[in-house]
Structure 1
């Protein structure tokens, strides 16, 4: 029997993100993580999609299980390497499992693949989904308060975002960041351009500074110097890193919510404990 959608403990609005696991053991663990986070009342769970559709079946399986548990699920869908026919197949699959929300992305070209397919930009994917499905799906797109690492300039990156919105996006989820001013400035620029969709900050809990530093280098997320120095001073003291990370990220979330952020989106890395600790702190305020 499907379990009912949990009721949030407070007015805090948030969503959480998973990635498809590679093993049956990982899927069993992810179910436990899902249940733990579901008890906190997320608005929805998003599930990522590998480069060129490499995790297609696993993404759909996780989305199907989330929906079967009575929860809202938002599959990611990237368009690099895709065709119109393949995107239609995905939309049909999403209908079949009852998904009503899609995170529409350009995505990365898989290693060794030279042909980007029939779509070059996420805005083209958004426009195609709207042509095929009307308002059937709520479409989330990505936003980059600190500028996409491949953008020619901040101005061109802003225009790319506005093009996605005008193609039919309902709301946006940002890349993670630790500089709240970057988020607020980005929102101000978007509003000045006449766009008023919700822009939800992406939040990355910090479990390991070394892993965070490597990942941030590749995706263009800035770690402020004062944070970096503090983390480096803790060395291999995992408990101090965890405690400091919780303080930094919870304070960031509080500032974002106080400044008008409509919700928060947690990049869980398929782990429940840090995200749970952060949400419980925020719900207790």
Structure 2
């Protein structure tokens, strides 16, 4: 960088960056309170959309549905529901998608899904089900004009034999009608930038949004990374070394690491980010603030939705 030149990330103003947030559906009333507290904190940042995950084997189907429906009915946020091919027939998945459309949900994150047997087991499509994510995308587009996002893997999907095969699979999803690619998180921006180059060279021109995960718990996130094929750089591990019993300092380091990663991507021309929140708002909010985002005065608070549905219904 030339002496005296300004980094783009230092010149950010309001509304220059678009963000989206991922949440997971709560299992308990306490987790539900934590989720809606997180949503209340992040909603004023006016995200482009928020997505709600779908458990392995469709294990959270009902909870995902309930969370997404509450988002569309009780907030001004634009929710996206995750949907997978696993352990369901085409007819069952189509019925879920149609229900979403009828409820006012217009955005689906279409994924193949993890094998029913969990990590280390092979994926086998159900005989009467969708074969893979590309097949699912096509099915969704036939049901209704959904906006459909799909996953991309900067370090390739763990089951893909080669980067070329992985890119062919991604191209099939886009050719089937996908409108956006959201990448699996990675910690070295080189992986994202090379992935972007390979995708453009393959004729993929839909937006490709990098996924960012703030490291609230290094051991936990390192486990996520190992299961999804994302590498954990040695320099990053060193930054958290010795902080196992020092959560306050670990928190500060995590904010610095994620902000540095995002700012470096801004300097490369990236203006959209997808944050894997893990249903915790503090680090994500701080990073967004440093990216120039500020609460929108016109955004109504979602405090009415913070109470669990059961408590609200009986109150």
Listed one character per residue, the Cα deviations across residues 65-120 of structure 1 (whole Å, up to 9, x for unaligned) are: 11111210000000122211112111111112211111000001223999631222
2:216 corresponds to 1:207:
yes
Residue 263 of structure 2 aligns with which residue? Answer: 254
> Which has the larger displacement, 12-21 or 25-34?
25-34
Residue 63 of structure 2 aligns with which residue? Answer: 58
Residue 197 of structure 1 aligns with which residue? Answer: 206
Residue 5 of structure 1 aligns with which residue? Answer: none
Q: 1:176 aligns with which of 177, 181, 185?
A: 185
Q: How far off is 1:34 after superposition?
A: 0.7
Listed one character per residue, the Cα deviations across residues 174-227 of structure 1 (whole Å, up to 9, x for unaligned) are: 000111111111111111112110000001001111112222112111111111
2:58 corresponds to 1:47:
no
| Pairs within 5 Å for 1:1-285 | 10-68=15-73, 69-111=75-117, 116-117=125-126, 118-133=129-144, 136-283=145-292
Aligned pairs, number:
276
The runs of 5 or more residues in structure 1 that have no matched partner are: 1-7
Residue 3 of structure 1 aligns with which residue? Answer: none
Mapped partners of 1:235, 1:72: distance in 2: 37
What TM-score do you get using the length of structure 2 for normalisation? Answer: 0.83
Note if contact 2:214-2:258 (Cα within 8 Å) is conserved in structure 1.
yes
Mapped partners of 1:65, 1:188: distance in 2: 38
Which protein is bigger by CA-based radius of gyration?
Answer: 2
Mapped partners of 1:224, 1:33: distance in 2: 29
Note if contact 2:209-2:273 (Cα within 8 Å) is conserved in structure 1.
yes
Give the secondary structure class of the aligned counterpart of 1:15: strand
Note if contact 2:210-2:273 (Cα within 8 Å) is conserved in structure 1.
yes
> Which has the larger displacement, 57-66 or 26-35?
26-35
Mapped partners of 2:280, 2:156: distance in 1: 27
Q: How far off is 1:9 after superposition?
A: 5.2
CA distance change for structure 1 residues 234 and 52 in 2, over 3 Å: closer, same or farther? Answer: closer
What is the Cα-based RMSD across aligned positions, in Å?
1.9
The runs of 5 or more residues in structure 2 that have no matched partner are: 1-12, 295-315
Q: How far off is 1:235 after superposition?
A: 4.1
Mapped partners of 2:228, 2:241: distance in 1: 20
What TM-score do you get using the length of structure 1 for normalisation? Answer: 0.91
Mapped partners of 2:124, 2:192: distance in 1: 34
CA distance change for structure 1 residues 197 and 262 in 2, over 3 Å: closer, same or farther? Answer: farther
Q: How far off is 1:262 after superposition?
A: 4.1
CA distance change for structure 1 residues 115 and 143 in 2, over 3 Å: closer, same or farther? Answer: closer
Residue 4 of structure 1 aligns with which residue? Answer: none
Mapped partners of 1:52, 1:249: distance in 2: 31
More contact order relative to length (CA 8 Å, sep ≥ 6): 2
